[in-house]
Amino acid sequence: RAGQAPNRSVHLFDSGQDGAQRDNLRLLSDLRGAIDGRLLVFHAQPKFAVDGSLRGAELLVRWAHPENGFISPARFIPLAEKSRLIFDLTRFGFETAKRHVLEVRGFAPQSALRFSVNVSGSDVTDPRFPDMLREAFGDDPADLALLELEITETAIIEDLERLVPVLERVRETGVRIAIDDFGTGYSSLVYLKRIPADTLKIDQSFVRDVMSSERDAILVRRTIQIGKDLGMDIVAEGVETQEIADWLVANGCDRLQGYFFSRPLPPPQWRDLAMARLGGPPPFPASK
């Protein structure tokens, strides 16, 4: 990278690591600025019921770095998680979810569209979390019923004892809890029994292969059954083809999400889609 000392021969063996560390620190400080300056954008990826009706959207953060261009959340979320910056990013996510709830209510007052925010384990175990959620999203029960937290199976299992009581309290306020990326962690049935969740999101690595691999098909079918028996809604993520969508519907999945239906949409396109599905006035051309 430009701007780095070319002669770091003294530290020859760990210079690569030093460089990577410096890049990470730089990225974190830029991320700090991007959060404070509200320069991140949350795209909204729709979720559909099996009858094709729009049910809500997952908010996925996007960062267009002024110099480095688009940076994937897969790159900067893990860094943010190590630095606690994640907490402020999550707050931003809740504020964004609230704006979406109010916006949809503006053109479809009876809407039950639900917005999901991805949260990290360290968010939930932070003692400030319940207050932060209340401040960022408000405490109107009608609004809280339209918020869902997506937390990965791995994050839950890693800190089960501390997470469960907080998730239970949050859930008592009407917020829903979804287990994200289900199947990629080491969940045993004992854990599944203890996690207070409303929704199970089957990871895309299984969804992708249900048509080509009988083993994946068996695992997904059983997962759907267990999840439903435990009273959970089942969402499939990463649905890329009509065949997979049909298979999931036939096997009892409740909601579908993936490129076959829609990519994550920038806010104006999301608004157009939601309005087209829920009715309301045509959008102003200027809002595009």
Of the ranges 163-171, 232-240, 267-275, 277-285, which one interacts with ligand C2E (CB under 6 A)?
Answer: 232-240
Q: How many Cα atoms within 13 Å fall on the side-chain side of residue 164?
A: 10
Q: Is 60 in the site for ligand C2E (CB under 6 A)?
A: yes
Question: Which of ligand C2E, Mg ion, none has residue 235 at its interface (CB below 5 to 8 Å by kind)?
Answer: none
| Closest residue by Cα to residue 118 from 156, 74, 150 | 150
Give the footprint of ligand C2E on residues 94-123 (CB under 6 A): 118-120
265 neighbors 257 (Cβ within 8 angstroms): no
Of the ranges 5-13, 71-79, 127-135, 225-233, which one interacts with ligand C2E (CB under 6 A)?
Answer: 71-79
Question: Which of ligand C2E, Mg ion, none has residue 222 at its interface (CB below 5 to 8 Å by kind)?
Answer: none
Q: Which residue's Cβ has the minimum distance to Mg ion?
A: 150
Q: Is 180 in the site for Mg ion (CB under 5 A)?
A: yes
Q: Is 77 in the site for ligand C2E (CB under 6 A)?
A: yes
Could you say which of 258, 270, 271, 275 contacts ligand C2E (CB under 6 A)?
258
Q: Is 45 in the site for ligand C2E (CB under 6 A)?
A: yes
Q: What does each C-alpha distance from 77 to 80, 85, 96 come to in angstroms? A: 5, 9, 17
Of the ranges 23-31, 189-197, 219-227, 231-239, which one interacts with ligand C2E (CB under 6 A)?
Answer: 231-239
In one-letter notation, the amino acid at residue 121 is G
- Alpha carbon 89 to chain centroid, angstroms: 12
Q: Is 118 in the site for Mg ion (CB under 5 A)?
A: yes
Closest distance to ligand C2E from the beta carbon of 37 (Å): 16
CA distance 81 to 241: 33
Question: Which of Mg ion, ligand C2E, none has residue 77 at its interface (CB below 5 to 8 Å by kind)?
Answer: ligand C2E
Could you say which of 143, 181, 233, 254 contacts ligand C2E (CB under 6 A)?
181
Q: Is 133 in the site for ligand C2E (CB under 6 A)?
A: no
Closest distance to ligand C2E from the beta carbon of 192 (Å): 18
Give the nearer residue to ligand C2E in terms of CB position, either 146 or 178. 178
Q: What does each C-alpha distance from 54 to 94, 144, 164, 230, 246 come to in angstroms? A: 21, 19, 30, 24, 17
Could you say which of 72, 205, 213, 225 contacts ligand C2E (CB under 6 A)?
72
Question: Which of ligand C2E, Mg ion, none has residue 72 at its interface (CB below 5 to 8 Å by kind)?
Answer: ligand C2E
Q: Is 150 in the site for Mg ion (CB under 5 A)?
A: yes
Residues of the shown chain interacting with Mg ion in the complex, contacts defined by CB under 5 A: 118, 150, 180-181, 237
Residues of the shown chain interacting with ligand C2E in the complex, contacts defined by CB under 6 A: 45, 60-61, 72-74, 77, 89, 93, 118-120, 150, 180-181, 204, 237-240, 258-259, 264
